[in-house]
Structure 1
């Protein structure tokens, strides 16, 4: 019997990937069983479903850190693509399953709100609980495909849910995306802060410049090489299955993170923009609680099943920055006509 292309790929995984990798044929499967594809492995199908879904496309107009005012600032989409690229580079070096890494990386931020973490904070306060990783899982499980969800595999769903928060992903591929997500946003947020004239290179702590590098590419390269070397070394020594960094680089990374929170994320410029974003999100949330019939039918129709607060939260969370501003103008700004 002639093997399908998928079967051939699965056999290649067994001969080329690390024993620590998650093999496609060993997936715990989907919530709703499906007939397998003759061409693509189970994780390749997940990746394709994520790329083609509406929530993925909307990431191009959702804030990363700075509300986009020019073409140079990162959006949630460009952040996602950078996480994917760096994670795949490391996965290839470690001989992990790149397709699983890619699916998790591309799907990890699908639940982010308009205006980034500013919108997330407001929805958390008003709804009682909102975490973008939990919303990302809700997007792929429930909201996409008009309520049918994407029916992704257990391993991709686990990686999406646990890319942040108290629990670690179960696969090494998921652990890798979790690590790379932090590395990536710290590095590119430095670059965006410089483009916004908030930081100069000499403002960075000296230990960061010394250990990580003075340019964006140097810092990324330092992190990538360190993760590959430290993980390979620890796995060979039989230490716990995890993604590792050296103490020296991890210390510099934590110093950088504290610096960025103090001077950028909670700095004056971001704080001013944060107030505007929070006002818009809170105004829209309050408005649609009182006027639920004015929501799109797919969200209004979910009220009987999910409740009013949940449905309004889902609607606001799906809005891009520009769509939220447009709705705000429509509902609250008098027309000149």
Structure 2
């Protein structure tokens, strides 16, 4: 057996022994409403299953990733993206000896709060709700799993464990600094109300890093985006695979693939996607192991108290991964064809919001129930919840019900 294969097998055996800083389902901080334990599943397994069976999760199949979902059957949707994230995350978690079920639960839930029509829908809905707290998909994910899902007799939401909620809210890192000031994406406008109030009520401690499992879900999200957007961009004709030769991360991978004799274009792209995932996963695992050696975390609390994320790309890989993202931003997300569709999709969301707020009776049941008892902000939030939960095709269907100029978004 080659030495490399022996090393890989040894590491796999070692990883089956949980890392000392891995989340322990037996020591979960529990749920907001206590429930009897399951005889066959850990708390994190139950969380994963509840997310998987939720209405919001099923709707992801018809929500846009970059292109509108009906442009073609082979382009990614929020659902296919989420499944790819979960697969990559679980693989990394297994390698590092983390709890795979918590990792998967966070990965499956990370995009539940996205609107129809991708980031355009979120941007427009955020502008519409500017006077009522704005819109943030991360906060909406929390709102869904703690309030909007209505499946159980004893509570609204999914009543997830504390660790899964922490991962949903903080998978991209702390939201505030030690003094309580919002940081990162929230520095300019402050924390969304739902994040601030729920975090305080459940002691999520927004100034610390989340579990290593949640951090793995976050980096798996980046890896999945980088790889499958290359695939979708080439497939859509927005750029050619040859143009990626100028991207430092991709160039050596592409050169190695093209050394294979008689490889057609389709297989070249698939091999490239696989190689990008492999390179980024291997770097993330290697760098995380280096940080483990540097900080020697002995328990999950040590992960939360670290001065930097435990999981990340190396100093050599991080700028190359950012360069690939910048390429995709220029050539794909800002491509005139994509921008034209985004503009029309944004108009659909804006007009739906304006119609429902002007004529509340146009809201279908149960969204139109008890409207008289709502204050102005609560009413606008309800309209926002309704629109945010729509799939792309349902948003177009509702637009056709109310307007005569619904775009076909092709």
TM-score (norm 1): 0.90
How far apart are the structure 1 equivalents of 2:142 and 2:392?
21
Residue 166 of structure 1, CA deviation: 5.7
User: SS state of the match for residue 21, structure 1?
Assistant: coil
Q: Give the equivalent residue in structure 1 for 2:194.
A: none
**Superposed counterparts of 1:33-52, under 5 Å:** 33-52=34-53
Farther-moved stretch of structure 1 (86-95 vs 180-189): 180-189
Residues 1:320 and 2:325 are matched in the alignment = no
Check whether the contact 1:299–1:314 (CA below 8 A) recurs between aligned residues. Answer: no
| Distance change in 2, residues 1:83/1:108 (3 Å) | same
Residues 1:271 and 2:276 are matched in the alignment = no
User: SS state of the match for residue 35, structure 1?
Assistant: coil
Residue 246 of structure 1, CA deviation: 1.4
Q: How many residues align?
A: 322
How far apart are the structure 2 equivalents of 1:26 and 1:170?
16
Q: Give the equivalent residue in structure 2 for 1:207.
A: 248
Check whether the contact 2:60–2:77 (CA below 8 A) recurs between aligned residues. Answer: yes
Check whether the contact 2:148–2:157 (CA below 8 A) recurs between aligned residues. Answer: yes
Selected match of 1:117 from 119, 129, 134 = 119
Q: Give the equivalent residue in structure 1 for 2:82.
A: 80
Residues 1:281 and 2:321 are matched in the alignment = no
Residue 203 of structure 1, CA deviation: 1.4
Q: Give the equivalent residue in structure 1 for 2:103.
A: 101
Residue 90 of structure 1, CA deviation: 0.4
How far apart are the structure 2 equivalents of 1:15 and 1:319?
41
> In angstroms, what is the RMSD of aligned CA positions?
2.1
TM-score (norm 2): 0.75
- What residue ranges of structure 1 are gaps of 5+ in the alignment? 1-13
| Distance change in 2, residues 1:233/1:269 (3 Å) | same
Check whether the contact 1:127–1:309 (CA below 8 A) recurs between aligned residues. Answer: yes
Check whether the contact 2:216–2:311 (CA below 8 A) recurs between aligned residues. Answer: yes
Check whether the contact 2:64–2:117 (CA below 8 A) recurs between aligned residues. Answer: yes
How far apart are the structure 2 equivalents of 1:274 and 1:76?
16
How far apart are the structure 2 equivalents of 1:292 and 1:320?
20
Residues 1:140 and 2:145 are matched in the alignment = yes
CA distances 1:33-72 after superposition (whole Å, capped 9, x unpaired): 1111111000000011011111110000000001121111
Residues 1:251 and 2:256 are matched in the alignment = no
Residues 1:224 and 2:281 are matched in the alignment = yes
Q: Give the equivalent residue in structure 1 for 2:198.
A: none
